Chains A and B, each alone.
Chain A
Amino acid sequence: MEIRVNPTRMELNRLKKRLKMAERGHKLLKDKRDELIRQFLILVRKNKELREHIEKELSAAFAKFLLARAVMPAETMEEALMYPTRRLSLQITKQNIMSVYAPKMQWDEEEAAEGEGASIYPYGFADTSAELDTSIETLSGILPSLLELAEVEKSVQLLAEEIEKTRRRVNALEYVLIPKLQETSRYITMKLDENERGALTRLMKIKDVVRSKM
């Protein structure tokens, strides 16, 4: 469908301006889309790597934890882990990836215990299983990666949304707006040409009439 316009020269000029604008916008958006995809791919790759690493570590830690749990009474286990020795303070700020506001996390692992030499193991040795040690160690080591994964995964999600939006805009410009504008301006040009030809024929006709009367 074309845009309904008056076939005037002024309208034609306006249309041409719009077309130029649309083409410029199209080019810009296309560049944005390409860059977004590039960033997206980098993040996705990182995400995959992190996830695989974490899943491997976590399943190992859980397996150990399970074994520790199997040889310790529930209350003893809970008591052992009741009071954590580490505290984590997390700050979330924004970072701008191609005008997408992705979260940026900064964390600080603090020792809740102020005395020196407080280990990551908050329990005594007498009635805890040694398998608990390994699992706590893995879990404690994995926390930074987990936070990083959270950050990357959220960014990937936000980027994906943005890419989808941009792509839709690019397509709308490329396949709808620009052809429509081109079509309409062609229509106006043709209409104007037609008018001109009409005027010309009329002039020639008048000229003939005038000449024959002389």
Chain B
Amino acid sequence: MPSDDTIYAYAVGRTRALEKRLLEKSQIERMIEASSAEDVIKVLSESDYANALADLTDIYDFEKVLQSELQKSLELIKSISPKPELIALMALRYDVHNLKVIFKAKYLGIKSDLIVPAGTIAAPRLQSAVDEEDFRDLPDRLRKACEMITEGFPVSRDPQLIDINLDQALFEQLLHDAKRLNNAYMEGLFSRQVDLINLKTLVRVKRMGLDREFLKKALISGGFLAHDRLTVFIDEPLESLITGLSMSQYSELAAEGIRDWIDKGTASRLEKLADDYITGYLKKGKWSPFGVEPLIGYLWAKEIEIKNIRLLMVGKINKLPSEAIRERIRDVYI
């Protein structure tokens, strides 16, 4: 394979065309002001979602449409990308989700229909791996996490362990692969995601009243912010976290989001800002003509878009005030 990045020329071109079909700010705005979920659907019918929504008989089924849309874009981008293994990283999350579901279902002795078909490894294969406790097919880090769970869970029976172990393994794997594939851009993306998750985890653990030991276990490694730096704040007031982060790249986000969390007791602002921060990071790569960046950016944009639509649908079905929806709507990528 030529190391020359021009191999991306076609894929980037296609992505540009796809970007045009993403929802625009004005469309989102119209949906926020819509009076009902049906009206949201109406606005969506004028967009790229028209086809998928045509089969929608019950508005409560919107979740399926969103899921299949996300999967479609993932597959499309994978098929046009000259290096599908990079795109596959974006789908590894779903494998981890499926693993969590399979593990929990196994230990509960039930069958679960929560499997998401978007993963890189087919669900039946994951299922048999868990059943036979043979994780050879899984990526290295995930394999280790799975082994830890099969050993640890029967003893502790703490479902949180499953989630925490797998989440950590996921990001370790992602960072490892990004490094192996020599892609600093994606490495940066994952590290930032880790940081933002850790920040949120810190505040959440603090709110739950749990101790430093627990936080240490819950933090994910691979971020720019060292764990030692974060764990200090568990015993200090949240305000000091804001000052502590003021020299980092997350200063603005921390100042606004954490301040909001302290004042209103809700993390919605921080969560929105965290997503916007990632969007902002990915936007920088948007105009690179010869790289994987626009593809990753597009996938993220699609994810955010779907998050927004979900928020709008759930909000409108349950008649949340427009303001409550607006303050949670994520910035769009375009």
Contacts and interface: CB of A to CB of B under 8 A. Distances in A.
- Looking at chain A's contact residues, the main secondary structure is loop
Interface in B194-219: 197, 200-201, 203-205, 207-208, 210, 213-214, 218
A124 B166 contact: yes
A131 B155 CA distance: 30
Given A83-B108, A133-B207, A134-B265, A71 B114 contact: no
A10 B61 CA distance: 84
A71 B167 contact: no
B283 interface: no
A134 B203 CA distance: 12
A125 B67 contact: no
A121 B267 contact: no
A119 B160 CA distance: 8
Given A115-B157, A118-B156, A130-B204, A125 B164 contact: yes
Interface residues of B, number: 57
A183 interface: no
A75 to B, nearest CB: 5
Contacts of A123: 159-160, 163
Interface string B264-298: 01111011000000000000000000000000000
B159 A85 contact: yes
A126 interface: yes
Interface in A57-86: 66-67, 69-71, 73-76, 78-80, 82-85
A124 B204 contact: no
B265 A85 contact: no
A122 B159 contact: yes
A79 B268 contact: no
A123 B214 CA distance: 14
Contacts of A133: 204, 207-208
B314 A66 contact: yes
Kindly name the residue among A67, A76, A119 whose own CB sees the greatest number of chain B CB atoms within 10 A: A67
- Looking at chain B's contact residues, the main secondary structure is helix
A127 interface: yes
Contacts of A67: 266, 268, 324, 328
B8 to A, nearest CB: 29
A126 B220 contact: yes
Interface string A71-108: 10111101110111100000000000000000000000
B60 to A, nearest CB: 10
Contacts of B66: 73
A131 B260 CA distance: 13
A130 B271 contact: yes
Contacts of B270: 130
Kindly name the residue among B97, B100, B107, B171 whose own CB sees the greatest number of chain A CB atoms within 10 A: B100
A123 B324 CA distance: 26
Kindly name the residue among B108, B115, B159, B265 whose own CB sees the greatest number of chain A CB atoms within 10 A: B159
Contacts of B170: 126
Contacts of B249: none
Interface in A104-144: 112-115, 117-119, 121-127, 129-131, 133-134, 137
Interface of B: 63, 66-67, 93, 97, 100-101, 104-105, 107-108, 112, 114-116, 155-160, 162-164, 166-167, 170-171, 197, 200-201, 203-205, 207-208, 210, 213-214, 218, 220, 261, 265-268, 270-271, 307, 310-311, 314-315, 318, 320, 324, 328
30 contacts: A66-B314, A67-B328, A70-B320, A71-B268, A71-B311, A71-B328, A74-B63, A75-B67, A75-B115, A82-B104, A82-B112, A82-B114, A85-B158, A85-B159, A85-B160, A113-B159, A114-B155, A114-B156, A117-B210, A117-B214, A118-B156, A118-B157, A118-B160, A124-B164, A124-B218, A126-B197, A130-B203, A131-B267, A133-B207, A137-B208
A-B complex: 7 closest residue pairs judged by Cβ atoms: A124-B163, A115-B156, A130-B267, A83-B159, A126-B167, A113-B158, A70-B314
